[in-house]
Amino acid sequence: VNSVVSVSIVAETCAFADGLATAVMVMGREKGLKLINDLPGIEGMIVVRQAGSQLMDYPSIGFMVKAEP
């Protein structure tokens, strides 16, 4: 069961970010995070529902750096 509830992508274009976010939603957390980390210039955050309805964030390696103004 895929428990990914949200994916946010930082990319050069909105169209690429939207397509990648959709793909990562389908791939799941582990494969999706690996893909994000392997793509140059791309960062992202995956939110997963844990047991007991708790949400857990899984950022890519450089996500927090890119997200700051």
pLDDT of residue 14: 97
DSSP H helices in 1-69: 14-27, 29-38, 63-67
Q: Count structural domains, the chain.
A: 1
pLDDT above 60 (res 67): no
Transcribe 34-60 into DSSP letters. HHHHHSTT-EEEEEEE-GGG-EEEEE-
Residue type, 56: M
Amino acid at 21: A
Assigned token pair, 15: 């169209």
Q: Is the overall model pTM greater than 0.85, yes or no?
A: yes
Q: Of residues 9 and 65, which shows the higher confidence score?
A: 9
Which residues constitute the domain of residue 22?
4-67
Query: Collapsing DSSP states into helix, strand and coil, what is residue 5?
Result: strand
Mean confidence (pLDDT) of the chain: 92
